[in-house]
Structure 1
Amino acid sequence: MAATTAQPMGTLPSGVGICTTFPDLFYLPELVFGGLVWILVASTHVDPPNPLGWVMFVSVFCFVMTFLCMVIFSSGAHKNSSGWAAVDVAYHALAAFFYLSAGVALAYITVLQGSFQNLKIHRIDIAAVVFAFVATLFYFIHTILSAIRWKNF
């Protein structure tokens, strides 16, 4: 039986601890699904570019910011302060809201363009919508768990 080392309540993980503790375990799935949305949306061309511009902004912004947060936490630059716990909650709440709005816009465009595109592009758009909502779910769960950690800080 393997021994597990639990983080004390009110501490932020650093180093490899971000790969073994909740909510920080969600960084990698957020990066994977956000990156998939980014790749899938970039691989298709849809006639009204404005909503897809928002989707691309959200996916690129959240990918970069999530990666930066992951690097900050893994390097220990946060120095275990409650300010970083608040930043973690605020960022993930904003990212969940952004991905929800991007997923709704992408779903709307996919439904509108469904009968006018070829089947391959339509399937790629459907996959992008699904991955956007999965990313929303991961960011939302991360927000809730980060808020609980911040409350106990």
Structure 2
Amino acid sequence: MAATSAQALSSLPSGLGICTTAPDILYLPELIFGGLVWILVASTHISPTNPLGWVMFVSVFCFVMTFLWMIIFAAGCHKNSYGWAAADFAYHGLAVIFYLSAGVALAYITLLRKIAPDKIYKIDIAAVVFAFLATLLYFIHATLSALRWRHF
């Protein structure tokens, strides 16, 4: 049993294998929660523009890059390379840092906008929750990718 799990950690999945391996199964939830952050922030009045512009950049960047990363892995373009395992860890680590900073900025702006209409305030709170859930998913993915990279 230990040899099977070590063997699974020492190779990168391709095709439908991304739907069955531990870190790669998180692509879809990352896309869903990241897309929800993007939609919820875009659906409210963007004020102040600077921190919320960062939140929009992070959510759109991570959504597009995660989608491309999922396509690369599904198509098998990585050719089971050590470099791709390292890049997988690096990208998801960067996404954690980006989403954590965006989530904190969004939470701060939401606290400042308590006087906003009730519907907008609730949308902002939902965006904060989804931003931190996306951060958690990217953190788990980065941790599991680091383990895979180490055993590669």
TM-score range, shorter chain: over 0.9
Structure 2: where are the runs of 5+ without partners? none
Letter in 1 for 2:136: L
- Once residues 8 and 45 of structure 1 are traced to their aligned partners in structure 2, the CA distance between those partners, rounded to angstroms, is 46
1:150 paired residue number: 149
Give the superposition deviation at 1:118: 0.3
Alignment partners' CA distance in 2, 1:47 and 1:39: 16
**Secondary structure, in 3 states, of the residue corresponding to 2:77?**
coil
TM-score (norm 1): 0.94
| Deviation sequence 1:104-126 (CA, Å, 0-9, x none) | 000000000112x1000000000
Computed over aligned residues only, the root mean square deviation of the Cα atoms, in angstroms, reads 1.2
SS of match in other structure, 1:114: coil
Secondary structure, aligned partner of 1:150: helix
Superposition TM-score, scaled by structure 2 size: 0.95
Question: What are the within-5 Å matches in structure 2 for residues 1-153 of structure 1?
Answer: 8-115=8-115, 117-153=116-152
The one-letter code matched in structure 2 to 1:66 is: T
Paired residue type of 1:64: V
Q: For the residues of structure 2 that align with 1:123 and 1:8, how far apart are their CA atoms?
A: 42
Q: Aligned with 1:69: secondary structure?
A: helix
Checking the alignment, whether the CA contact within 8 Å between 2:35 and 2:59 is kept in structure 1 is: yes
Over residues 57-78 of structure 1, what are the superposed CA-to-partner deviations in whole Å (9 max), with x where a residue is unaligned? 0000000000000000000000
2:121 alignment partner AA:
H
Deviation at 1:8?
Answer: 2.9
Q: Which amino acid aligns with 2:18?
A: I
Q: Structure 1 vs Structure 2: percent identity of aligned residues? A: 73
Whole-angstrom distance in 1 between the partners of 2:80 and 2:55: 33
Amino acid at match of 1:103: G
Q: Comparing both structures, which one devotes a greater share of its residues to helix?
A: 2
The Cα of 1:81 is off from its aligned counterpart by 0.2
Q: Does the 8 Å CA contact 2:9/2:147 hold for their aligned counterparts?
A: no
Deviating above 2 A after TM superposition, structure 1's stretches of 4 or more consecutive aligned residues are 5-9
